Structure 1
Amino acid sequence: MALILVTGASSGLGYATANALAWEGHDVVVHARTPARVAVPTGGGRWAGVATGDLAETSEIPGVARQAAAFGRFDVVIHNAGTMHTPEAATVNTIAPYLLTALLDKPSKLIYLSSSMHRGGSTDLARLADGTASYSDSKLWVTALAMAVASRWEGTAVHAVDPGWVPTRMGGPGATDDLEAGHQTQVWLATHDDITPSTGGYWYHQHAQDPHSAAHDPKFQDRLLQALEERTGVRLD
């Protein structure tokens, strides 16, 4: 069985993902903003561990990484945590996945949550520093981050997932996508190896799609990684 970290696992898609993986017998470490937000898995099981910290606060992200690292090298890390609110969107949706990726030992698999709204994002990375980044911007950037890591880290399978517009607390009651399908691709990617493409995929309901062209642009990837390094003071190896 695999050791798996799921961020933003107190509710919604993160909780559903973590719970499904725990139900399959994997050792799941869950992240939540505070201990009080950690929900127990259904079916009477337990989490392998808990890491807490507010990913909207850049200063707290290294602490989350240290807590998670104490459980050992992860087989899979699922960067699920997200918010639609500006100015937190850039920090939670892009900077936190970048820092956790850089600070944790390289896992066998990395999965980043994107969104169909990433296609409306901007490549103006000045927004990363000045606090004006939109949700769409942050999701374009985290998708490009996933593709950049996929092209740089041999031996780690890296994917981005559009879970659909699902009726979670963030998606709202008017969301039209299937809630159950919203976490199944993440679970499938985490637990299967016979996947094409084996790395660098952008997925929607277990079907590979083409993301925004900037996500695969090496020049934009380089600019993004440089901007993230300058913003955080941490370099991605």
Structure 2
Amino acid sequence: MHFDAGYFFGFVFHPPLALLRGLMTTVLTTFVSMAFGVLAGLFLSICGVSPWRAIRWVNTVYIFIFRGTPLLVQVIIIYFGLPYLINVDLFPQSVQLFGFISVGGAVVAGVTAFALHEAAYFSEIARAAIASVESGQWEAGRALGMTPGLVMRRIILPQAVRIMLPPLGNQINGMLKATSLLYLIAVPEMLFIADAVQSVNYKTLEVYLGVSVYYLALTTAWGYIQEALEKHYSKGFGLI
């Protein structure tokens, strides 16, 4: 057994079309999951700083469950366990979104699991960022006659977002790699395609090293984007 360098470089620089489609699936799944996860996490973080104990309790229990269990387990439970529990096929082979976009049910299940998981982590990121803003900012806004919601939107969040950006960028980086877990529910992302390729030609090491190069390229590219975003918004920005 020997390493086929020619095949490796060919796989990296002239990848099969299926691998490029898998790469697009990886990227789209990452950013759609993060978008929903950030929105849900922001809502949970506001619950976490609520003056009402019952609402804070909801946030605490949610974080306890989704941060305390492995993401892989969550994906399996949502895709296989949840439909079995309620006896409804939640994730059929093809799902119509908005009446004209058709995606695989496994993709929807994966995005759902990733978004719910990310919400728990981003909730803590956002809660800590909001809590780091000086209490005098709240008092100043209230003194100007602003409602609590307006103070949050116009004063607190613009300052908190600067603090959120670095850990949020790291979460996106991690999510790019976590999408490989979708392999277990047959989503055709990069790892799934790589496994299919190596099962035919038995170039296991060459194929998996090639896929590693693509993951490194994605995370490196995102690193530069994150750095640019942090630099651009280092002075903060306003929200409507």
For the superposition of Structure 1 and Structure 2, which TM-score range results when normalised by the shorter chain? Answer: under 0.3
- Larger RCO: Structure 1 or Structure 2 (Cα < 8 Å, ≥ 6 residues apart)? 2
- The structure that is helix-richer by fraction is 2
- The structure that is strand-richer by fraction is 1
Normalised by the size of structure 1, how large is the TM-score? 0.23
Max Rg structure: 2
